[in-house]
């Protein structure tokens, strides 16, 4: 800890300087992180997350909330601004962040991090790319900024839970995205701190976004937080100051939003040991199925149970299901297995956040894809009937292993009393069961099919794997044009 010399009363003493504020600490980290200090595995994971996020974005091109966000962004033209993905239109960096971030998030198919507060850290990527494009940042600088945004976002999620206090997880996203944007814009230490102050002061989001019937705003909530994070960085670059100390102050973030917390040691820094702390991006999860992350293990378990039933009795036996029990842990149940609307979803947004729906469609269809959430399928009487046979129950033993594991057990009882059961602790895509690079490429190809030419798809994949070679991230944008709208 820093110490200062004090003289008085005829003697000399040592007084400890006040501890660094959280905002100053975050800004200091943002100014000291460097591309050549990133381990090779971190650089590779950034590329994997970028390719995965672009896949999700291209797949969501025609969806209603994303069209709305794009229309708003296209109403503003800003030469030398940032590109709305899929087009050649340049708008302001903050509006590009909103439009592009909504694309990444819409299908609930982008990556996840689970801790005291859950999050989707790849939601920061749109902010980094938009700010980076406006600043003509290099591929190396963009990679570093993405790693920075992931690190800050996940460490904040480790530090304090927002959900129990009624706030939404995207509240942390305004802070992390402001730092990612500030980094690619090469803001000074003082400017970075003000960007954090501005972002944290004005962007406290309500958890109602994810309670009960879920609206279009679910796809846009983080995109809006990231938009405001970019806006905060733009203001700070011009000299705007924000309220301080924003976290520790009398009416600040800790007293009113998060409760007190200590910011953990950050990736690349040396903690109590002699080795640098690993980066948090290594602990995030890529999704193989387009459902809320807590449902990933449930879907996988349901598909295995279905295989058991059909192998023993044939597909026609699925009509003989009498009871479906989903055994899971409290956090999962709170988010996707508690509200009555989860048994009667009216929208895609509610269906992909519903234990009963995700398990029912997996059992009946033998797969869960984007088409599993079409209006026709969501309203299918067969799905509706099976959902009413689903019970969601807490398993006490599971409470002790979350978030290190996300166990879910699906038990199906047939007419006559025969039961089939399967449990999954770590879904595919978890750090303990990572998806391969080839699987992520396959996900990109599937989601981009019909929207991009095949040669274009392969070119995007190639460029993302070599993104550090780009002198300017702007070179990537023309490759993202949608040709079949």
**55, 32 contact by CB (below 8 A):** no
Decide if pLDDT at 482 tops 90: yes
**357 CB-near residues (< 8 Å, 6+ apart):** 342, 345, 350, 351, 378, 383, 387
- pLDDT surpasses 70 at 97: yes
Mean pLDDT of 409-414: 98
Superfamily per CATH, domain 22-283: 2-methylcitrate dehydratase PrpD (1.10.4100.10)
Mean pLDDT of 395-420: 94
Residue where the block lists tokens 């803001």: 187
Could you tell me which of 134, 158, 161, 157 has the C-alpha nearest to residue 145? Answer: 134
Residue with tokens 């399967």: 422
Segment 106-157, tens digit of pLDDT: 999 999 999 999 999 999 999 999 999 999 999 999 999 999 999 999 999 9
The C-alpha atoms of residue 243 and residue 211 are separated, in whole angstroms, by: 31
Q: What are the structure tokens assigned to 366, written together?
A: 């033998």
Cβ neighbour number for residue 17 with a 10 Å cutoff: 9
Location of structure tokens 């449930």: 298
Confidence of residue 485 (pLDDT cuts 50, 70, 90): low
Residue 304 parent element (H or E): helix 296-313
pTM of the complete model: 0.91
* pLDDT of the residue at 88: 96
Chain-centre distance for alpha carbon 169: 10
Are 158 and 5 in contact, with CB atoms under 8 Å apart? no
- pLDDT tens, residue by residue, 167-223: 999 999 999 999 999 999 999 999 999 999 999 999 999 999 988 888 999 999 999
What would the two tokens of residue 220 be?
Answer: 């846009």
What pLDDT is attached to residue 7?
Answer: 35
- Residue 2: its pLDDT value, please? 35
Q: Calculate mean pLDDT across residues 384-401.
A: 95
- Look at residue 211 in the predicted model and tell me its pLDDT: 87
Residue among 58, 33, 31 nearest 46 (CA): 33
* Cα–Cα distance measured from residue 376 to residue 363, given in angstroms and rounded to the nearest whole number: 17
Within this chain, domains 22-283 and 293-424 share the same CATH topology: no
Asked if 30 and 182 count as a contact pair (C-beta separation under 8 A), the reply is: yes
Tell which residue, 178, 223, 227, has the closest CA to residue 199.
Answer: 178
**pLDDT given at position 147:** 98
The whole-chain average pLDDT of the chain stands at: 94
On the question of a cis peptide bond just before residue 61, with omega within 30 degrees of 0, the verdict is no
Per-residue pLDDT tens digits for 51-93? 999 999 999 999 999 999 999 999 999 999 999 999 999 999 9
User: Is the model's pLDDT at 5 over the cut of 70?
Assistant: no
Which CATH number describes the domain made up of 293-424?
3.30.1330.120
Write the CB contacts of 146 (distance below 8 Å, at least 6 apart in sequence). Answer: 46, 49, 50, 124, 125, 128, 180, 281
pLDDT in tens, 232-257: 999 999 999 999 999 999 999 999 99
Asked if the model's pLDDT at residue 424 lies above 90, the reply is yes
Cα–Cα distance measured from residue 233 to residue 202, given in angstroms and rounded to the nearest whole number: 13
pLDDT value of residue 289: 94
Structure confidence at residue 407 as a pLDDT band (50, 70, 90): very high
Dihedral over alpha carbons 310, 312, 316, 320 (to 10 degrees):
-110
**HSE-up of 243 (CA within 13 Å, CB side)?**
12
Task: Summarize the confidence of residues 311-318 as an average pLDDT.
Answer: 96
| Domain ranges across the chain | 22-283, 293-424
The H-assigned helical ranges of 112-268 are 125-135, 139-159, 170-184, 189-202, 217-237, 253
- DSSP-derived secondary structure for 363-399: HHHS---GGGGSHHHHT-HHHHHHHTTEEEEE-HHHH
Q: What mean pLDDT do residues 415-433 have?
A: 96
d(CA 413, CA 320): 9
Q: Identify the pLDDT of residue 353.
A: 93
Phi-psi region of 226 (alpha: psi -120 to 50; beta: other; left: phi over 0): alpha
For the cut 50, the answer to whether the pLDDT of residue 4 exceeds it is no
Res 10 pLDDT > 70:
no
């Amino acid at each position: 800890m820093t110490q200062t010399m004090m003289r008085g009363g005829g003697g000399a003493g040592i007084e400890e300087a006040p501890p660094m504020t959280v905002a100053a600490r975050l800004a200091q980290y943002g100014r000291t992180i460097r591309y050549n200090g990133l381990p090779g595995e971190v650089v590779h994971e950034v590329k994997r997350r970028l390719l995965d996020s672009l896949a999700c974005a291209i797949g969501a091109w025609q969806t209603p909330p994303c069209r709305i966000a794009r229309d708003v962004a296209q109403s503003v033209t800003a030469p030398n601004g940032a590109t709305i993905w899929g087009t050649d239109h340049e708008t302001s960096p903050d509006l590009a962040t909103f439009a592009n971030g909504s694309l990444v998030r819409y299908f609930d198919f982008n990556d996840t991090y689970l801790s005291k507060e859950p999050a989707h850290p790849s939601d920061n990527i749109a902010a980094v790319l938009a700010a980076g494009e406006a600043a003509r940042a290099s591929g190396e600088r963009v990679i570093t900024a993405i790693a920075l945004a992931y690190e800050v976002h996940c460490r904040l999620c480790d530090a304090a839970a927002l959900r129990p206090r009624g706030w939404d997880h995207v509240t942390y996203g305004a802070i992390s995205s402001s730092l990612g944007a500030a980094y690619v814009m090469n803001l000074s230490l003082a400017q970075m701190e003000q960007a954090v102050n501005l972002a944290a002061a004005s962007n406290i989001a309500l958890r109602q976004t994810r309670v009960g019937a879920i609206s279009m705003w679910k796809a846009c909530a983080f995109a809006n937080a990231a938009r405001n994070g970019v806006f905060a960085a733009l203001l700070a670059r011009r000299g705007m100051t924000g309220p301080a100390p924003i976290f520790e102050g009398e009416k600040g973030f800790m007293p009113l939003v998060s409760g007190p917390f200590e910011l953990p040691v950050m990736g690349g820094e040396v903690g109590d040991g002699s080795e640098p702390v690993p980066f948090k991006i290594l602990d995030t999860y890529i999704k193989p199925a387009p459902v809320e992350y807590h449902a990933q293990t449930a879907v996988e378990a349901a598909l295995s149970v279905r295989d058991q039933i059909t192998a023993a009795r044939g597909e026609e036996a699925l009509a003989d299901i009498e009871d479906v029990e989903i055994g899971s842990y409290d956090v999962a149940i709170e988010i996707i297995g508690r509200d009555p609307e989860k048994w009667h979803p009216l929208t895609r947004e509610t269906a992909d956040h519903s234990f009963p729906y995700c398990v029912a469609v997996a059992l009946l269809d033998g797969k869960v894809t984007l088409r599993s959430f079409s209006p026709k399928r969501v309203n299918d009487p067969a799905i509706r009937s099976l959902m009413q046979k689903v019970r969601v129950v807490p398993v006490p033993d599971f409470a002790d292993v979350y978030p290190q594991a996300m166990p879910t057990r699906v038990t199906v009882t047939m007419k006559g009393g025969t039961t089939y059961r399967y449990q999954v602790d770590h879904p595919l895509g978890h750090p303990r069961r990572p998806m391969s690079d080839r699987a992520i490429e396959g996900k990109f190809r599937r989601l981009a099919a019909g929207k991009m030419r095949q040669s274009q798809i392969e070119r995007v994949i190639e460029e993302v794997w070599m993104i550090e070679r780009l002198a300017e991230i702007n070179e990537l944008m023309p490759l993202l044009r949608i040709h079949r709208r």
